Homo-oligomer: A and B are copies of this chain.
Amino acid sequence: MLKAILVISDGMADRPVKELDWKTPLEAAHKPSLNQIAKTGINGILDPISPGVPPGSDTATLALLGYDALKVYSGRGALEAIGSGVHVQPGDVAFRCNFATANEKGIILDRRAGRIENKDATKLADALQKIKLKKPSNTSFLFKSTIQHRTVLSIRGPKLSTAVSDSDPGKNGEKPQEIKPLDNTSEAKQTARIVNDLLHDFHKTLEDHPVNAERAKHGLPQANTVLCRGAGIIPNIKPLQQLFDIHATCVAAAPLVKGVCKAAGMQILNVKGATGTPQTDYTAKAKATVQALKNSDLVLLHVKAADVASHDGKAKQKVEVIEKIDGMVGYVLNHVDLGSTYVAVTADHTTSIVTGNHEGDPVPITITGPSIRCDNVKEFGERTCAEGGLNRIRGKDLMPTLMNLIGKTEKFGA
């Protein structure tokens, strides 16, 4: 039976940089396994959303799974929440939140409350969950800490909207912003009011909480404020199972990517040692992928590391990370049956080590497998792949392309 592995290396694509003799980090890296795929496969460039548009990892992953992100994207909060294992129902409006440290004037000193440890964060979150939502009476909330300062706030009720602004100012040295409705609906106004009231109550409870008194005693930053951003609901999308009649599995550490995969109905594997950082256990992820393929038609193997190096502006680290990813891909190539498995490698977006930002440049894509129109490309890279047989495609076209190769697309017409 034909199967497919899709490796998404987060933020791997880049622009040529002086520091690497005007090569991109991908071009500069030693990458025999990625080159093997390019050499034996078909290559191209891919616009995750459309030319010039810098995608987030959430919209790009939605697109790479075959969805029209411009139509179905419904905010970050709920995706990250379900990716963190928090139960969010369709219709719940969820926010990504942080425990933060504010001074007596309310100015944020540390958006991450000293990266507060899980134990303290859990106790504080439990205390906040006990607060009674004053009104409306038919509305409730869920507040849960996930890792360190990271928490999720999810509101459940009949008249809610994601059209509200963030309270998180995005940097230290400023006060939290009042959450504002972003349109004129009563839903947006009510949602903003509920969350503003809650954050106010959270603050009061946190100020008086013994955990914070204890932290103060030990000279630790107090987690006395909650910052919210990225209001979202679970996107209304059909699961991959229904679209392509496949069982699909996700091997990823980043909660946002896991959330997108969960929304797409994929099975989520939690791999020991997978951290979403350059220090992740690449081999463990490769092994998990090989293992998962036994019971899956498709395995998505996502690695966050190259994006982290890019945001930090570290060219050499990005090259090293890509070389580790090459090793991970090599393990996969050596342990799956290439007579029945298609392996595709791409990035979810370009992240420039110069700007430190997601950019709208296309990403390279390579696909090898048992029955493919292989082209003359010999190396995997942003510019070499642009000469390949796939030419230039959109992110949402990749999944049908892969599903077509493994015989999982339906004929349109007679």
Binding site for B on A (CB under 8 A): 15-17, 24, 45, 49-60, 69-70, 73, 76, 80, 230, 256, 352, 354-355, 357-361, 371-375, 382-383, 386-394, 397, 399-404, 407, 409-414
- Report yes or no: A55 in contact with B392, Cβ–Cβ below 8 A: no
Q: Which residues of B contact A394 (CB under 8 A)?
A: 51
Q: Which residues of B contact A76 (CB under 8 A)?
A: 413-414
- Report yes or no: A56 in contact with B404, Cβ–Cβ below 8 A: no
What is the oligomeric copy number? 2
Q: Complex: how many Å from CA A80 to CA B414?
A: 10
Q: Complex: how many Å from CA A230 to CA B131?
A: 60
Q: Complex: how many Å from CA A413 to CA B80?
A: 12
- Chain A binding surface SS class: loop
Given the contacts A413-B57, A413-B60, A52 and B401 also touching, CB distance less than 8 Å: yes
Q: Which 9 A-B pairs have the closest CB atoms?
A: A56-B413, A52-B400, A59-B413, A360-B404, A76-B414, A51-B397, A391-B392, A52-B404, A52-B401
- Report yes or no: A404 in contact with B230, Cβ–Cβ below 8 A: no
- Report yes or no: A404 in contact with B54, Cβ–Cβ below 8 A: yes
Q: Complex: how many Å from CA A357 to CA B407?
A: 9
Q: Complex: how many Å from CA A414 to CA B307?
A: 13
Q: Which residues of B contact A401 (CB under 8 A)?
A: 51-52, 360
Residue from the set A256, A386, A397, A403 with the largest chain B CB neighbour count within 10 Å = A386
Q: Which residues of B contact A373 (CB under 8 A)?
A: 15-16, 24, 361, 382-383, 386
Q: Which residues of B contact A355 (CB under 8 A)?
A: 407
